[in-house]
Every structure is written in structure tokens, then in C-alpha cells.
Chain A
Amino acid sequence: MQDNLTYPRGISSWRRARPSRRAVLRGGLLGATGLAGAALLGCSDPDETSDGASGSEGSGTGVSGNGSGGGTASSVTLERAPGYPGEDFGKAPVNEKARIMGGELRLFGTSLFDARQNDPDRNNAGGLTEWNNDRLTIPKGGGWTTEVVYDMLASSEAVDETKLVLTIRPGIKTHNRPPLNGRIFTAEDVAYSINRKAGKLDPVAAEAYSRAVQFTGLNRAEAVDDVTVELTFDSPNGSVLPALADMRASMIPIEADEIGYSDPMQIPGTGAWILESNEPDVRSVLRANPDYYRSDEEGGRPSFDTVNIAAYPDRAAQVAAFLTGDLDQLTAVLPHEDAQITASRSDALRYSSPSAAWEHFQINPARVPAFQDKRMQKALQLSIDYAGTMDPLSSAGWFYSPPLHAMYPESWSQDQVKALPGYNPDTKEADIAEAKKLAAAAGYEDGNGISWTNTQYSTTSNFFQTAVRLQEQWSRIFPGMSIEFQQLPDFATYTNVKATREFDGTNYNFASVPDIALDAMTYYHSTGTRNYASYNEPWADDLIEKGFQSMDSEERRELFGQFMQRYVEEGGPTIALGVLFTDHAYSPTVGGADLFSGTWHFFYGSTYGGNARWLWRTE
């Protein structure tokens, strides 16, 4: 074993001191250094922080406890990605009121637990496995970092660049119902799950799982004994532990495939919740798993007896149900709903944070010849009024983002981005003048000869608003450029247009995963599954691949810094416009949401709601 080889997220043994439950639950949020909580949550090995490369830097950054107590909720200054400047990172009130064990948590869903979504390796989002099963790692809760921490794992050891040994916690049981009847979940199950995700069992089927790329380089996963799995790589993969934190990366018992995924009531798992009843389009009720492997002291064990998920497909119904107290949670509050909540449910606990998604504009050079010229791509980037475009989209705020989400420790901060040409409001006039020069040099003076269509699927979306604002800006700067709109009937049509690359340009947002290399591979690598603009630069592929293989945070920071630098300088078809804040509202009698609130909130599981096993009822 090489001591100096660490995975970039700083995961190490989490069998450390046992602080009080509250301190545990607060994790990295409380305490002057956050060390105790962070250590408990499986990160921040002091040995690793010393080299600055382990990614466990979050344990000591920007943490200040609120310590308010006394039954009132108050805000804390949240932990931030290392090196990320700025202070206003949203709100995460702590509900300090006394916990009441048991009870029912009332949430909403849309369509519940479709068979296809119940297969974790085919799940887009919202599948039963997010409740029914567990992951080896999860994003670190209660922070604005991109660290991941152990969940089913007890430890991981990088033997060398091509061998990773994972040890799961002993004694994890499957749900106590036929046909598994509570058998112990073993390393065989883990190896099976990982091989399945990586396409080792069915390579073609795995291609349909767009996250199979996360396991690039994996040769095989093998169980060594009941709790130990050895991953062997043909080429290094520095992103495998964050990949295992993806909300779709559930571990399944080997028998799951044989049992099938059609009947949600039969799907075996180890998770905190067991599906008790399921009425399609009405409600699903899950009860707490009494044999769940986590203890109450360490957190993440269900406090509620049941979770009742009502199928509310309509946003108005969701809002009304929250306002009247029939729901405990309203996710992704929209600006106009903010006033409604303030007026009708002012005691609601409000959590806001930078979204995991980044807004962007994308052109398709294959369809618009003018945009094949890098100078035109750069001209577009220079000419956008970023503040004018983003300000109206969110009452909670937004911040500048580089090509790779600004919340990654390895990425650029908002201030760095804001100082760049095009983004810098102070140099806007000069940047626009430069943009016009570039367009003229490319043979498109004032945009003459350029005609393209911005494809949208909803006139009520942020994307359409942004598209209109960009059209207005560019029609002033490049009066000869013709921009029309194509209005598609719905999202399904839009996905088809994107998949077939039959669009000239579009506004949309991409949801990042908690790893910069995986994001870069997905959106900018020539083989990226969501590289809709068909960006194909050998130098970019090279940097991204090196970054993906790197297990050193500093090296990654350097490599992805180089990538972003050149991408912004040269121009590219995907222009990041910024990151909006998202806002979630909870009933005042729900505690624990602060434990996972943050940029990677929705990767905590149960898709956008945050996993209910971290929540509890309060007075």
C-alpha cells in the first residue's frame, strides 16, 4: 500500500472519535474547525489534509456554528469549497426544537416508482432504489463542498493506481422479507453491482446507462471476502468514489435481477426504507427499516416511522398542499411562490444554496457554419451581458460560473470568473467592441450572414426567458444576425432534438455530479454523452483524460484550470451563464434538513428532496 496515494475526495477510515449525536449530525457544520464532525462523517483524515491533495480541506474552512438552541431556527455560515471566495452561500436554518421520534413525513412525488426507474442502472431520477437501497458513498452533507463520505463503506485503500480495495461495513442486512429474509449483504453483492454498472455483465445494455462512463478503466470488481471488494483498473480512474455517490449508484443484492423490477413491492434492498404500499398515481408509503445498519448516534438512521409520498403531478397542487400543511416539504421554490410562502406559511424553514445545475447557452457548429469559427464562439462569449441575463431568473440570487461548475474545489471561483473578459461588468464595453472586431475578422461583420434558430420547449421556463434576453442583446450588438425561435411541444421532443443534434442553438442547464472530472468528461470530452455541441478538441480530451485519471486534487486543479483557461480564451460552443440558487421550504416541525442542504443536496437521494433518513419530526 502506498501511503502517499489518496483519492481526491479525502475519504479515509471513518472509525474515529464518537462525538455526541448532535455533533455527529451537524457533521462539518459545527465547531470552530469542524474536525470532529467531519471526521465522524468519514472525511478529513488529518494525515491527508496536510498534503493539501486529499480533498479533505473542507474540514477547517469557513465553519462557524450557530449554537442558538432554545427552540428557534437560525442560520449558520456554511462550509464552503476550499478556495471559494465570497460569503453569502444561502441559508440553512437549524431546527433545534426537541426531536420527536416516529410519526409520518409527508412528501410529494410525480409518477411513482416505475419499473424502469426501479433498476438503479436505468434510473434517470426518482427511482425506488433511492429509498430501498444504499450507496457505498454519498456526497458530504451539510456543506458546500464536493466531498463524498462513506455510507456502506467502512474504508477504502488505494493499493496503487490500478487497484482500489473497498471494505463495506460488516453486518449490513437485506430487508427482512422474502425471498432474502434479511440475509447479510456481502462483498459479492457489491462486486456484482459495480460490475453491472460498469457494463461488465452486459456491455451494450450498460451503454444505455449514461453514467457507465464513470467507471471508465475498470477491469473488474471482485469480492475477496465477505466485506472486501477489490477493484482492478486497466487505467487509473480518480473519480470512482464520487461516481459511487451518484444517486443512481445504488448497490443491489445479486438476486435483484432475478426478482425483477416490475413489482416495486418485491424489489430487495438494504435501504433505510421499505415500501409498504404503492398505489400508482395516488401514494406510496414507506416504513423505516428496523434492521437498518446505521445507529441513531451516527445519524442517517430513520427517525420517522413512515414516509407518505403523495403523487402530486401539478405544481399548483404541490404548493397548495404545502401552504395548508398537508406536505412537509416543497422543493425548488420558484420566485413567485416565495411570496406565497412568506404570506401563508411564514414559519416555514427555508434552505437555499447554489444549485448543482449551471445555466448555459449552447450553439451547434455542425449546423451553423459561422459558429465553426472560434472567433465567433469567442465573440458570443464576450458579448453576453451575464448580469442582465441572470438577474431576473432568481430572487435567491446567482453567481458567475466557469465552464466547470464553480463549486468544485478544483474549479475557478466566482471572483476569478468575474474578472475575465466578457464576464467582467467593468470591461463590458471594451469586450463588446472586441467581440465585434472578432466577428468582422471572421467575415461576419455586425453578424451579417449568420442565421440560426434557438430551440426551446417551454415558453414559461427560465431557458426561454434567457433565450429572449440573449436575442435582444445580440440583435443590438450584431444587428445583421438573424435569430429565430423554435418552440417544441414538450421535453420529450426536446431530448430527441438534442440527442439527434438537430438544433442550431439552445439554452438549458446541466446538473453536475460531485466530481469535476466526471462533469468534464460528460460535457466537453469528444465522447461525452451530453456533449451535444459535438465539441472535439484533442488538447481538451487529453487534459480531461489526464484529470480523470489523476488521484491528486492539486494536479486536478492544475489540469482542469488549464482546460478552462484555454476553453475560455479560445471560445467554445457551450457558454456557462451562471449558477442559480435553489430554495427549498420545510415544515417548521421538521429537523435535519440542514444536514444535507447544499449544492449537492439532491444527490443525497430521493432525487430532489434530500433523503428522508436524515430528517426527523420536532415539536
Chain B
Amino acid sequence: MARYAVSRLIGMVPAVLLLLFLAVVMVDFIPGDIVDLMMQENPNVEARELLEAELGLDRNVVVRFLDYARGVIVLDFGTSLWSDTAIGEQLLRRLPITLEIAVIATIIGTIVGVAFGIVSALRQDTALDYVLRSIAIAGISVPNFAIATVLVVMPAIWWGISPRLDYVGWEEPIAHLKIMLLPALVLSLNLAASLMRLTRTTMLEVLRQDYIRTARAKGLAGVVVTYRHALKNALIPVVTLMGLQIAYLIGGSVIVESVFVIPGMGRYLITALNQRDYPVVQGIVVLIGTFVMLVNLAIDLSYAWLDPRIRYS
């Protein structure tokens, strides 16, 4: 497995380089322009050219790519065009916050989704099954920004209370967890709903397999059959889905972090996009892209643990 992991990591290099190139090139394709924003639509050509040069936007794409790649190799993501601060420092400060929400959301989403999926499969076509499936469909259908907005605004209107929105770090652990829990819950809804539906489907399929029937015929307890024999086999597609959902979770954090006023990567990204702060957008895209690749590698490696028949060569 180690050789496989190393070969996959080496294989990621061209993918990361392509990611870097796309991150640099996309700047030319994003409509709108930071220069217009900074100059407040002032059409003065000379001043515009001066500003473009000052911001380094007058260089051709190859030069920009080489400069950028050289910087990223030594973990230098450049400087924000608006705040003049090192992007690497900002990413370092914000990435743990976003990851924290994503991890909490993943834990909640996985526990709830898998558990409900199992219950739904075991109680197929009962009232409980219908209720859980309906909830899952709602969880998939309603966008998390709508849920987040409702959770923030409606209690304030009805009862004069609202989730705490003034972010504090781990220096106040209880307050911090209170602040992080609700956005993580919102973010976990879609994951839980998707996992619930998939777990139900795969469980139903596995539960009809011969070896499950054999296990039952042997007189094994229902719990043992379900969790040791059925669930583990049903989880492979579920784990694959979780890997795919990581990218969704990071994407979902853009809105959730804005609504719940969390100073994470998503918030940083949306601000940078609105301001056309290109180096920041590039840095976040590269970081998230690389992270998703690594998560998918981890997911691939986990298959062997879930199903010993799988061998890497």
C-alpha cells in the first residue's frame, strides 16, 4: 500500500501543476476587473496602466504562471492586492477554522446519515422509512444558505434571540464550540441526507446477498449480521461519496461562513472574489484543489481496510 500511496502522490504532481496553471489562467477569464474596482470606474488610461503594472497584471500568463509556481513551491502564495498582507499567513490562520467546521460537519453528517440509512433499510417501506426518506429529500433539496439564513433571522424576529455571531477562537473553548456547532450542523445536512439515501440503497442490496442469508441461517444475532457483515460491505460506495462530498463541504462553507460570520477560508474566498483579489482566489483554489486530491487519495486507501479483497498494485 505504501508503494501505491507514493506512486499516487507522484502522480499528483502534474495534476497540481495543471491546477496551478488553471488558477493563474482563470484570472484572465473572470469577468470584471480589480482595476475598475480600485479606480472606481475612472476611465483614465494612463492611470489604469500604471495601476495594472503596480499590481503585476501587465505580465503575460507564462511569466505569471512561472512566478506563481515558483512561489507556491516554497509555500509563498503572494500578497493580497487589497490588504497587502501575505496570503500564506491568512490561509494558515483560516484553513484550520474551515477544516474544523468541515470535520464537525462530516462527523455529524456521517453518524446521522449512516444511522438513518441503516434504520431506513431495516424498516423498509414502513412509516419510519417514509419519514426518514422525506427528511433526506428535504435535506438535499433545501440549499444550506437558505437554512442558515432562516436559523439566523427567524429566531431573532420571533423570540429576539439569535445564534452567537461574534466569532471567538479556542481561547474560549465553550463559546467557540457553541459558535461552530450550528454552521457545522447546517453544512452537515446535505451530507447526512445524501449518505442516508445511499446507505439505505446499498444496505438493501447487501441485505439481499446470499452471505447475509447464510449468516442469518447460521443463527448469528441480527445486530452482528447488520453491523459486521452487511454494513462494512455496504460502506464502500458510501465512503466514495464522502470523498466527493468533502469538496461540497468546502464549497458550502463559502456561504455558511458568511452567514454565521466565521472567518474561515470560505469567507476569505467570497470576499476575494467580490474584490477580484486574484492572488487570494488563486491561493484558495490551489489549496482546496490539493486538499481534495489528498482526501480522495485517503479514501482510495481506505478501501483496502473496508474490503480486504481489494489489493493495490
Q: Does A258 lie at the interface of the complex (its beta carbon under 8 Å from any beta carbon of B)?
A: no
Contact call A116/B31, Cβ cutoff below 8 A: no
The contact string, 1 if C-beta is below 8 Å from chain A, for chain B 36-69, is 1111111110111011000000000000000000
Contact call B47/A323, Cβ cutoff below 8 A: no
Set of chain A residues within 8 Å of B260, measured between Cβ atoms: 317
Shortest distance in angstroms between B161's beta carbon and chain A's nearest beta carbon? Answer: 6
Set of chain A residues within 8 Å of B153, measured between Cβ atoms: 316, 319-320, 340
Contact call B41/A115, Cβ cutoff below 8 A: no
Q: Does A122 lie at the interface of the complex (its beta carbon under 8 Å from any beta carbon of B)?
A: yes
- Give the nearest-CB partner of B48 in chain A: A208
- Give the nearest-CB partner of A343 in chain B: B157
Q: Does A50 lie at the interface of the complex (its beta carbon under 8 Å from any beta carbon of B)?
A: no
Contact call B160/A311, Cβ cutoff below 8 A: no
Contact call A124/B33, Cβ cutoff below 8 A: no
Known A-B contacts A283-B166, A492-B32; the reply to A116 vs B38 at CB < 8 A is yes
Contact call B41/A499, Cβ cutoff below 8 A: yes
Q: Which of B38, B90, B167, B268 contacts A122 (CB 8 A)?
A: B38
Contact call A115/B268, Cβ cutoff below 8 A: no
- Give the nearest-CB partner of B41 in chain A: A499
The contact string, 1 if C-beta is below 8 Å from chain A, for chain B 19-43, is 0000000000001111011111111
Q: Does B124 lie at the interface of the complex (its beta carbon under 8 Å from any beta carbon of A)?
A: no
Q: Does A529 lie at the interface of the complex (its beta carbon under 8 Å from any beta carbon of B)?
A: yes
Q: Does B289 lie at the interface of the complex (its beta carbon under 8 Å from any beta carbon of A)?
A: no
- Give the nearest-CB partner of B256 in chain A: A314
Q: Does B233 lie at the interface of the complex (its beta carbon under 8 Å from any beta carbon of A)?
A: no
- Residue from the set A111, A122, A325 with the largest chain B CB neighbour count within 10 Å: A111
Contact call A279/B263, Cβ cutoff below 8 A: yes
- Give the nearest-CB partner of A110 in chain B: B271
Interface size, chain A (Cβ < 8 Å):
53
Set of chain A residues within 8 Å of B261, measured between Cβ atoms: 310-314, 317
Set of chain B residues within 8 Å of A324, measured between Cβ atoms: 156, 160-162
Pick out which of these stretches binds chain A: B4-12, B80-88, B191-199, B303-311.
B80-88
Shortest distance in angstroms between A507's beta carbon and chain B's nearest beta carbon? Answer: 16
Contact call A320/B152, Cβ cutoff below 8 A: yes
Contact call B165/A320, Cβ cutoff below 8 A: yes
Once the chains are docked, how many angstroms separate the CA of A280 from the CA of B273? 16
Q: Which of B31, B161, B166 contacts A488 (CB 8 A)?
A: B31
Once the chains are docked, how many angstroms separate the CA of A499 from the CA of B52? 15
Contact call B276/A492, Cβ cutoff below 8 A: yes
The contact string, 1 if C-beta is below 8 Å from chain A, for chain B 178-205, is 0000000000000000000000000000
Q: Which positions in B face A, CB cutoff 8 Å? A: 31-34, 36-44, 46-48, 50-51, 80-85, 90, 149, 152-153, 155-158, 160-162, 165-167, 258-261, 263, 267-268, 270-271, 273-276
A to B CB contacts below 8 Å, 20 in the list: A111-B82, A114-B84, A116-B82, A205-B50, A208-B39, A208-B44, A208-B47, A208-B48, A280-B85, A282-B263, A313-B270, A314-B149, A317-B152, A317-B261, A490-B32, A490-B274, A495-B33, A499-B39, A499-B42, A529-B41
